[in-house]
């Protein structure tokens, strides 16, 4: 799959080419009849992580509707680049700019105000008073995929397999939509064992495998034997650290990649994958855009009650490690979350918001249905 790089390429405007999820296409009169979507994201199309999941959803949308065309722009990290890329697409007459980066809230508002005839959406973001109407432009939507629901499942599983009683999380950057993932993981582990030991660190990178590997090695040295990894491709460094620890006789250690099915990275060290349902949300939002059903100043909320692709699978080799009672407890927890009997807090709303660091430790387990 070929994708457009950063701002300097500006849609390859000077030579009139676009990169359409896997093939170069020349703009033509026929394209005017298409519903044209720009998907801007921080990773790569094959990172087995965040961006890979969003692109899979775009592919599914195109496969189901030949009138949809999606252009993917990868490795876009900073606010200025989102502003420049979004403006470039809007100026080229695209119908929909989907910004798959939860820290780009202000940039989404700015672009929507600048281009009122183009649909913009930012994901993930749960709107607050500051980002609801009248502060929210009519052509701007917010998408919140309750990623932390999958991390909650993963935390419950981690608490069942840990031998040291110490689980950890190595996180990309600290902003509420990301922070809730580590806190949700801690909360899921507490749901199984209220006395579980939890530690975490923000490594401030999505892609630097060297930094991630060094951080994981340090965490394993503290006797943690399960590490969740809400990062992008930096997770490869964490996987390598786990494999090396296992090979050096450290004892069994596990890692939990986020966003995408990742057992292939190393069945001997991948406990589960925190699969956030991003592919489902990506396809749904692009299809809603094409059908004209996004709505003005709208909020689209996907969680485990309405997104079947939010889960943390129990792989066959892990199933063998669990007692029948543990398996039954894990399935019970998952079912209670899906039915709403267990209510996982969100990052900024409700009685126990978990968008701040260490907030998961303060949640009343009985109040959310764990006890």
- Reported as a single tens digit per residue, the pLDDT across 77-94 is 899 999 999 999 999 999
User: 17-24 — which CB contacts under 8 Å span 24+ positions?
Assistant: 18/71, 19/71, 19/72, 20/69, 20/70, 20/71, 21/45, 21/55, 21/58, 21/59, 21/62, 21/70, 21/71, 21/72
pLDDT band of 32, cuts 50, 70, 90? low
User: Could you tell me which residue, 116 or 232, shows the higher pLDDT?
Assistant: 116
Distance (Å, rounded) from C-alpha 248 to C-alpha 160? 24
pLDDT greater than 90 at residue 226: yes
Poorest-pLDDT segment among 11-25, 90-104, 295-309 = 11-25
Within the chain, all domains assigned CATH 3.40.50.2300 are found at 7-147+278-302, 148-275+311-368
pLDDT at 5: 38
Bond prior to 45 in cis (omega within 30° of 0): no
3-state secondary structure of 119: strand
User: In this model, does residue 12 exceed pLDDT 50?
Assistant: no
| Per-residue pLDDT, 147 | 83
Q: Supply the pLDDT for residue 96.
A: 98
Record the tokens describing residue 360, joined without a space: 């998961």
CATH match for 148-275+311-368 among 3.40.50.2300, 3.40.50.920, 3.40.50.1000, 3.20.20.150: 3.40.50.2300
pLDDT of 30 higher than 50: no
Fold annotation for 7-147+278-302 = Rossmann fold (3.40.50)
Q: Is the whole-model pTM more than 0.85? A: no
| Structure-block tokens of residue 147 | 């990623």
Chain-centroid distance, C-alpha 105: 16
Q: Which of 21-25, 107-111, 275-279, 282-286 has the lowest mean pLDDT?
A: 21-25
φ, ψ for residue 282 (rounded to 5)? -60, -50
28 vs 166, higher pLDDT = 166
User: What percent of the chain is predicted at pLDDT more than 90?
Assistant: 77
Q: What mean pLDDT value characterizes the chain?
A: 89
Encode pLDDT of 109-166 as tens digits: 999 999 999 999 999 988 887 788 888 999 999 999 988 999 999 999 999 999 999 9
């Amino acid at each position: 799959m070929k994708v457009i790089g950063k701002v300097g390429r500006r849609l390859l405007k000077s030579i009139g080419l676009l990169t359409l999820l896997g093939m170069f296409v020349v703009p033509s009169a026929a394209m005017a009849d298409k519903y044209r979507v720009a998907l801007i994201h921080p990773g790569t199309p094959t990172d087995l992580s965040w961006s890979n999941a969003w692109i899979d959803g775009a592919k599914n949308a195109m496969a189901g509707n030949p009138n949809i065309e999606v252009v993917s722009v990868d490795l876009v990290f900073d606010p200025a680049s989102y502003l420049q890329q979004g403006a470039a697409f809007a100026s080229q007459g695209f119908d929909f700019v989907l910004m798959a980066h939860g820290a780009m809230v202000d940039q989404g508002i700015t672009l929507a105000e600048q281009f009122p005839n183009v649909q913009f959406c930012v994901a993930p973001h749960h709107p607050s008073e500051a980002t609801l109407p009248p502060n929210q432009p009519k052509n701007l939507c917010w998408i919140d995929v309750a990623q932390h629901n999958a991390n909650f499942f993963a935390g419950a599983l981690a608490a069942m397999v840990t031998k040291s009683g110490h689980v950890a999380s190595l996180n990309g950057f600290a902003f509420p939509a990301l922070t809730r993932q580590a806190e949700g993981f801690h909360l899921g582990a507490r749901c199984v064992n209220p006395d579980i030991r939890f530690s975490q660190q923000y490594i401030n990178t999505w892609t630097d495998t060297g930094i991630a590997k060094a951080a994981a090695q340090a965490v394993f040295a503290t006797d943690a034997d399960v590490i969740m990894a809400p990062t992008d491709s930096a997770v490869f460094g964490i996987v390598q650290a786990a494999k090396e620890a296992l090979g050096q006789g450290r004892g069994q250690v596990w890692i939990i990649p986020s966003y995408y099915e990742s057992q292939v990275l190393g069945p001997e060290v991948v406990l589960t994958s925190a699969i956030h349902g991003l592919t489902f949300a990506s396809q749904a939002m692009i299809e809603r855009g094409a059908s004209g059903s996004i709505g003005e100043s709208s909020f689209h909320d996907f969680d485990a009650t309405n997104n079947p692709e939010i889960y943390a699978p129990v792989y066959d080799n892990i199933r063998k490690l669990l007692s029948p009672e543990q398996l039954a407890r894990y399935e019970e927890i998952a079912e209670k979350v899906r039915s709403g009997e267990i209510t996982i807090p969100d990052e900024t709303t409700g009685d126990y918001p978990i968008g701040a660091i260490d907030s998961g430790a303060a949640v009343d387990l009985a109040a959310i249905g764990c006890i």
